[in-house]
Amino acid sequence: MSVSRRDLLRWQFDLNWALFEYHLERLRPEDFLWEPGPHCWTVRQSADGTWVPDWAETEPDPVPVPTIAWVSWHIGWWWSVATDHLSGRPPRDRTEVTWPGDGKATVAWLRDLRTGWLAALDRLDDTDLDATASFPSPDDPQYTVAHMISWVNAELMKNVAEIGQLRMLRVGTGGERSSAPRP
């Protein structure tokens, strides 16, 4: 049985998404902003009501532990930009992607991102996979659309593992939201 490259990439994505659904179905509102320690990145509500992620242009050392809210925003950011590239739209800036602000809205947002991504994937055939991709490595012309899709699959798998681990830690330790001082 021969499988096209696009179908193989789609299978890999579907596997990652099935693992994500396991955690999405179990997330509770209190999971999102739970801080597992004093050195965390999260999202914070601004004066206008939007949620703004902690961010540094140069990655700090040590790297802060992200909250589920921050990781879910991060997924929304990179996935929105990847979908923009795959769909031929101008990519959004990081600051244009905001976290929805609560558990149910975030889960719905992530599921909508999946729907948009799959629609873009379904428009491709194997010949499209060989085109040059400018995301996630704009300075390296050797990367193709197939590389970008593979990267999305890997990044999603990593982020799913992070959210799953954070959720299980909070539940397993009876964790309450940390009242540690904020940076």
Quick one: average pLDDT of 93-107? 94
Report the range of poorest mean pLDDT among 5-9, 16-20, 75-79, 137-141: 137-141
DSSP string across 89-111: PPPPPGGG--B-SSHHHHHHHHH
pLDDT band at 55 (very low <50, low <70, confident <90, very high): very high
Q: Where are the domains of the chain?
A: 5-54+64-173
Q: Which two tokens stand for residue 183?
A: 């940076």
**Residue in 13, 23, 10 with CA at minimum distance from that of residue 161:** 23
Q: What is the mean pLDDT of residues 58-86?
A: 96
- Structural tokens at position 146: 């197939």
Q: Which CATH number fits domain 5-54+64-173: 3.40.50.280, 3.40.50.920, 3.40.50.300, 1.20.120.450?
A: 1.20.120.450
CB burial string 7-28: b at 16+ within 10 A, e below: eebbebbeebbeebeebbeebe
Q: Give 160's contacts (C-beta < 8 A, 6+ positions apart).
A: 16, 19, 20, 23
pTM over 0.85: yes
Query: How much is the pLDDT for 175?
Result: 73
Residue for token pair 């244009």: 96
